[in-house]
């Protein structure tokens, strides 16, 4: 796997950095464990936050420093370059200023994110260290001068191969031309339209693979020839080589190639396994009229010191390649850019018969220029086509659009991740304290905010899964957005059985100043044959498969994430079919339909005027939000006796053991965590 770009981000809030430093110091000192809730001294301002709002600002720039518009950006919690997959959280497209800016609820435990660009000319994967509640990253931009600590040397190689010039330990040739070519944003836009990421050429540009097309450079007159690096999107450290032959007497098999010259021993960009930059250029030489220049990509050929000539070669002559399916033997496309008078070549660097091949022909992208410019024969050669398909006309090409046939929708955005769920866990005796096993309702969720071509939200798809019910109460669940009910066109997927919720025509709850969604009004009614008792909290009882409910919210007009509020929004429990008895996360406001007579009774110490909400007299909560599935306690087992560092985290004000809910050494008492017995 290649080395990722690493961007150390500047801090926007010094206090957050100080807090994180304190957390690290206290964790290393291993504060004493707290085994009783009564022993915890809790700060009045502590709200049990495990997630905070994070502003993500990503800027894309061409080598001049100008904005690159229309670049698809994906943000992942984790990413594997070898499989090109990971845990996706955000997707969007850069605006006219080359910026994608989104707010996102990020947990305190996550230490890094991965920015993946689906755009030729930009780094494919950029690893970002998360150190604060804002992320500012510039992808691309004016390249640095090539500067290397290692010296250049010319290594020995097989007799039928030759290096064009000496190279350093990164595989960068010494004979690069200064200054390098600068590849402008308009040129990158055309190249991306011609060879877009993830777009199989046989599907989107089958004309590139016509049998009559040229795949080699053929000279009509004597000319000087150069090759310029554009992009590489491969996981391999490939070598780029060339060979020459008489146009009128081409080799009929690869064994007839007498000499292969290696131009780029390691066709990999700086920060991606090599040391090249887009625009790096090399002079191949002067060639006579009637000469053809063929290409060979030596897959994973660079060893770190030399090129392994025994590695698989993919030639520009399809007949020399290893695929048994003759329709899949072509490994490069050759396109003519008439406007710029250059010849664009895109390569596929793995066997095209394997299932992991994406057939987008942009694993290695370079162009060829000549002097005189008219020396290269451009007949039987398709043109660089800047007109990629946009079926729904929303300005996002089909290959970059998650909804290519829907002009109102373009991208999926997940919290806490496409492959991850968060948790909401409740104590339902509010305003009384309860037993603090936090299993009266345990619910996992995943939310997809669907955005359009302007990165505005058009739909919210919330999937909630009931994992456990540790109470006899028949509770309902709701959440509130920051926008008015009129901003909602329709809500679908609700499960209401108790006639305690009054709905407006759009299926939001009536009588609310903010859009309020009630997915279900009785947890028990989501299960078959469970009307009372307990669900998945007592190991001596039958295990029930968790039940899910998915609610889809269609907005009247697209809204910004800032306007809606961050997932999971303002979630709350409706206790035992009593609509006014609603309990929220600590610090969160009640809805208009709360019964305020509950406030300040029994153990509750809510005082809205003073800004204290849904905490007990000793500052304990009734609801918690975790960024991952919760390993909840068995029935009647207190949380501090199950998650051993929970009390220390609380008493530290959240600075120590931010990861208290994870399965780290000494963090849990396993026998106190519910495990299904069948």
DSSP string for 284-352: EEEE-TTEEEEEEEETT-B-SSSB-TTS-EEESSGGGS--SSGGG---EEEEEETTTTEEEEEE--S-T
Between 12 and 244, whose confidence is greater? 244
Contact 481, 515 (CB under 8 A): yes
Per-residue model confidence as pLDDT tens digits over 272-293: 889 998 999 999 999 999 999 9
Is residue 576 classed as helix, strand or coil in its secondary structure?
helix
Contact 656, 648 (CB under 8 A): yes
User: Would you kindly state where each structural domain of the chain is located, as residue ranges?
Assistant: 1-14+47-142+410-599, 161-375
Mean pLDDT of 255-263: 96
Contact 230, 365 (CB under 8 A): yes
CA angle 88, 93, 99 (to 5 degrees): 110
Q: Which two tokens stand for residue 134?
A: 């804002």
**CA 489 – CA 509 distance, rounded (Å):** 13
**CA 349 – CA 300 distance, rounded (Å):** 9
Weakest-pLDDT range from 73-87, 307-321, 541-555? 73-87
Residues in a beta bridge with 334: 345
Q: Which two tokens stand for residue 522?
A: 């009785």
Mean pLDDT of 357-363: 92
Mean pLDDT of 378-401: 88
User: What is the band of 234 on the pLDDT scale with cuts at 50, 70, 90?
Assistant: confident
What sign does the dihedral 306-309-314-316 (CA atoms) show? positive
pLDDT of residue 496 exceeding 50: yes
**CA 497 – CA 577 distance, rounded (Å):** 10
pLDDT above 90 as % of the chain: 76
**CA 452 – CA 271 distance, rounded (Å):** 32
Alpha helices in 154-290 (DSSP H): 185-194, 201-204
Per-residue model confidence as pLDDT tens digits over 613-632: 999 999 999 999 999 999 99
pLDDT of residue 265 exceeding 60: yes
For residue 266, which of 295, 293, 242, 298 has the smallest C-alpha distance? 298
Strands (E), 4-84: 5-8, 51-61, 72-80
Weakest-pLDDT range from 150-154, 176-180, 260-264, 643-647? 150-154
Mean pLDDT of 396-419: 95
Q: Is 140 left (phi over 0), alpha (psi -120 to 50) or beta?
A: left
Q: Is 311 left (phi over 0), alpha (psi -120 to 50) or beta?
A: beta
Q: What is the mean pLDDT of the chain?
A: 91
How many residues belong to the chain?
Answer: 678
Contact 343, 376 (CB under 8 A): yes
**CA 381 – CA 332 distance, rounded (Å):** 12
pLDDT of residue 646 exceeding 90: yes
- What does the pLDDT read at residue 146? 54
pLDDT of residue 446 exceeding 60: yes
Contact 137, 59 (CB under 8 A): yes
- What does the pLDDT read at residue 150? 66
User: What is the band of 8 on the pLDDT scale with cuts at 50, 70, 90?
Assistant: very low
Q: Which two tokens stand for residue 110?
A: 């996550």
Residues in a beta bridge with 127: 6, 114
What sign does the dihedral 204-210-215-220 (CA atoms) show? negative
**CA 367 – CA 234 distance, rounded (Å):** 17
Distance of CA 203 to the CA centre of its chain: 25
Per-residue model confidence as pLDDT tens digits over 58-88: 999 988 889 999 999 999 999 987 788 899 9
For residue 277, which of 359, 178, 155 has the smallest C-alpha distance? 178
Q: Which two tokens stand for residue 477?
A: 């669940």
**CA 358 – CA 268 distance, rounded (Å):** 19
For residues 142, 147, 153 and 156, what is the CA-based torsion angle, rounded to 10 degrees? -40
Indicate the pairing of strand 134-140 with strand 51-61.
parallel
User: What is the band of 5 on the pLDDT scale with cuts at 50, 70, 90?
Assistant: very low
For residue 68, which of 144, 140, 143, 142 has the smallest C-alpha distance? 140
Gyration radius of the chain's alpha carbons: 30
Indicate the pairing of strand 570-574 with strand 217-218.
unpaired
Residues in a beta bridge with 466: 443, 547
- What does the pLDDT read at residue 15? 37
pLDDT of residue 511 exceeding 70: yes
Weakest-pLDDT range from 61-75, 299-313, 465-479? 61-75
pLDDT of residue 13 exceeding 50: no
Residues in a beta bridge with 366: 229, 345
**CA 379 – CA 113 distance, rounded (Å):** 47
- What does the pLDDT read at residue 556? 98
CA angle 411, 416, 418 (to 5 degrees): 50
User: What is the band of 431 on the pLDDT scale with cuts at 50, 70, 90?
Assistant: very high
Query: Residue-wise over 660-672: b if at least 16 C-beta within 10 A, else e?
Result: bbeeeeebbeeeb
Weakest-pLDDT range from 140-149, 357-366, 571-580? 140-149
Contact 556, 477 (CB under 8 A): no
**CA 336 – CA 355 distance, rounded (Å):** 30
Residues in a beta bridge with 39: none
Per-residue model confidence as pLDDT tens digits over 185-200: 889 989 988 888 878 9
User: What is the band of 144 on the pLDDT scale with cuts at 50, 70, 90?
Assistant: low
Q: Is 660 left (phi over 0), alpha (psi -120 to 50) or beta?
A: alpha
Indicate the pairing of strand 217-218 with strand 342-347.
unpaired
């Amino acid at each position: 796997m290649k080395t990722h770009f690493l961007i150390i981000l500047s801090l926007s809030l010094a206090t957050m950095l100080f807090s994180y430093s304190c957390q690290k110091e206290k964790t290393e000192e291993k504060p004493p464990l707290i085994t009783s809730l009564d022993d915890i001294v809790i700060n009045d301002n502590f709200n049990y936050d495990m997630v905070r709002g994070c502003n993500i600002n990503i800027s894309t720039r061409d080598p001049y420093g100008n904005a690159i518009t229309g670049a698809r950006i994906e943000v992942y919690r984790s990413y594997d370059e070898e499989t090109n997959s990971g845990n996706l959280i955000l997707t969007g497209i850069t605006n006219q200023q080359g910026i994608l800016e989104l707010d996102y609820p990020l947990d305190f435990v996550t230490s890094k994110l991965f920015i993946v660009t689906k755009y030729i000319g930009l780094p494919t994967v950029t690893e970002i260290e998360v150190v604060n509640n804002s992320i500012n990253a510039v992808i691309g931009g004016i390249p640095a001068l090539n500067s290397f600590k290692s010296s250049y040397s010319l290594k020995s190689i097989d007799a039928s191969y030759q290096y064009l010039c000496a190279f350093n330990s990164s595989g960068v040739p010494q004979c690069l031309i200064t200054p390098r070519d600068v590849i402008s944003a308009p040129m990158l836009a055309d190249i991306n339209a011609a060879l877009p990421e993830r777009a199989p050429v046989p599907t989107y540009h089958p004309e590139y693979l016509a049998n009559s097309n040229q795949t080699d450079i053929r000279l009509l007159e004597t000319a000087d020839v150069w090759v310029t690096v554009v992009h590489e999107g491969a996981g391999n450290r490939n070598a780029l080589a060339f060979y020459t032959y008489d146009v009128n007497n081409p080799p009929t098999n690869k064994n007839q190639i007498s000499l292969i010259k290696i131009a780029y021993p390691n066709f990999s960009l700086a920060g991606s396994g090599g040391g090249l930059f887009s625009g790096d250029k090399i002079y191949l030489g002067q060639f006579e009229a009637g000469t053809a220049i063929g290409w060979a990509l030596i897959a994973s050929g660079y060893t770190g010191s030399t090129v392994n000539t025994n590695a698989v070669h993919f030639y520009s002559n399809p007949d020399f390649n290893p695929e048994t399916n003759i329709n899949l033997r072509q490994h490069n496309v050759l396109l003519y850019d008439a406007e710029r008078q250059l010849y664009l070549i895109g390569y596929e660097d793995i066997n095209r018969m394997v299932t992991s091949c994406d057939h987008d022909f942009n694993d290695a992208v370079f162009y060829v220029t000549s002097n005189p410019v008219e020396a290269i024969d451009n007949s039987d050669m398709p043109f660089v086509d800047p007109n990629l398909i946009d079926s729904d006309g929303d300005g996002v090409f089909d290959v970059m659009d998650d909804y290519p046939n829907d002009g109102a929708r373009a991208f999926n955005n997940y919290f806490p991740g496409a492959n991850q769920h968060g948790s909401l866990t409740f104590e339902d005796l509010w305003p009384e304290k309860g037993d603090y096993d936090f299993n009266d309702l345990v619910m996992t969720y995943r939310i997809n905010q669907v955005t359009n071509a302007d990165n505005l939200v058009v739909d919210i798809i919330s999937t909630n899964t009931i994992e456990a019910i540790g109470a006899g109460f028949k509770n309902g669940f709701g959440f509130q957005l920051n926008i008015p009910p009129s901003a909602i066109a329709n809500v679908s997927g609700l499960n209401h059985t108790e006639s305690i919720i009054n709905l407006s025509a759009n299926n939001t709850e009536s009588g609310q100043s903010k859009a309020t969604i009630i997915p279900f009004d009785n947890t028990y009614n989501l299960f078959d044959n469970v009307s009372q008792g307990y669900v998945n909290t007592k190991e001596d009882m039958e295990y029930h498969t968790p039940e899910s409910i998915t609610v889809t919210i269609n907005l009247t007009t697209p809204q910004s994430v800032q306007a809606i509020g961050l997932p999971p929004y303002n979630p709350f429990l409706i206790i035992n079919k009593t609509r006014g008895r609603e309990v929220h996360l600590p610090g969160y406001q009640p809805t208009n339909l709360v019964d305020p007579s509950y406030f300040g009774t029994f153990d509750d110490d809510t005082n809205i005027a003073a800004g204290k909400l849904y905490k007990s007299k000793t500052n304990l909560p009734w609801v918690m939000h975790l960024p991952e599935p919760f390993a909840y306690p068995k029935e009647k087992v207190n949380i501090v006796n199950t998650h051993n560092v929970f009390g220390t985290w609380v008493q530290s004000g959240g600075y120590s053991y931010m990861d208290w809910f994870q399965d780290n050494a000494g963090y849990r008492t396993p026998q106190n965590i519910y495990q299904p017995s069948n």
